[in-house]
């Protein structure tokens, strides 16, 4: 494992020199506070400054300083702008072929989902139609059963009415028989009375 380089004190104290190097190329209002100094190598230090330029939130300016052995004067090696943690970055560039492949896969998945949803809807409609048909058959069967029960009830009533046809009452039959006999006896009795009267008249004459 490589040993971490020691921070050079001369270069670490050269913050003003690092800022001045930035201001040679950047506007003063774009360079913010000093953030940190990081040892890159022996006698090489990078200073970081806040970037206050619009549209570069989270970015940092950097200036790398170096000095020769036994030298006390820092020199600017390089400077620039780098993204920090949480910086707004543009998405990585993706080749056209890969983008089209991803687009086609997305469209195919969308089409498959729509087809599955359509098939599910058709299945639901078929189930509803079958349920409606079953309900209609049940209602039809109930109507036929009710009609059969009604007809059977009417037939039973007719049979019951036929069974309850009034039979001649024995008393009424006897009364009619006595009436008939009385009707037959009445002319006989009348003739007998007539004969008795004729006999009585003959007796009186004699």
SS3 45: strand
List, for residues 94-142, the tens digit of each pLDDT value.
888 888 888 899 999 999 999 999 999 998 888 888 877 777 766 666 6
For the chain, the domains span 9-83, 93-159
pLDDT at 59 over 50: yes
Give the integer Cα–Cα distance in Å for 124 and 144.
30
- What does R_g of the chain's alpha carbons equal in angstroms? 65
Backbone angles phi, psi at 55, to 5 degrees: 85, 0
Strand partners, 47: 37, 63
Mean pLDDT of the chain: 81
Q: Does the domain spanning 9-83 belong to CATH 3.30.70?
A: no
Mean pLDDT of 141-150: 63
Over residues 83-97, the pLDDT tens digits come to: 988 787 777 788 888
Angstrom CA distances, 124 to 129, 132, 151, stand at 9, 12, 40
In tens, the pLDDT along 151-192 reads 666 665 655 555 554 555 556 666 676 666 666 677 777 777
């Amino acid at each position: 494992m490589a040993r971490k380089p020691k921070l050079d004190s001369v270069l670490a104290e050269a913050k003003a020199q690092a800022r001045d190097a930035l201001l040679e190329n950047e506007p003063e209002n774009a360079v913010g506070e000093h953030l940190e100094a990081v040892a890159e190598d022996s006698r090489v230090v990078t200073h970081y400054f806040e970037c206050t330029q619009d549209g570069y939130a989270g970015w940092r300016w950097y200036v790398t300083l170096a000095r020769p052995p036994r030298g006390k004067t820092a020199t600017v090696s390089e400077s620039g702008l780098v993204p920090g943690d949480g910086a707004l970055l543009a998405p990585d560039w993706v080749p056209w072929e890969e983008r089209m492949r991803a687009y086609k896969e997305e469209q195919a998945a969308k089409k498959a989902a729509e087809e599955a949803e359509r098939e599910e809807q058709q299945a639901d409609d078929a189930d509803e139609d079958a349920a409606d048909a079953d309900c209609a058959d049940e209602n039809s069967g109930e109507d036929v059963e009710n009609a059969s029960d009604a007809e059977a009830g009417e037939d039973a009533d007719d049979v019951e009415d036929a069974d309850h046809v009034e039979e001649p009452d024995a008393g009424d039959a006897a009364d009619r028989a006595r009436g008939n006999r009385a009707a037959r006896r009445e002319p006989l009795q009348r003739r007998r009375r007539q004969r008795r009267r004729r006999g009585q008249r003959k007796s009186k004459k004699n």
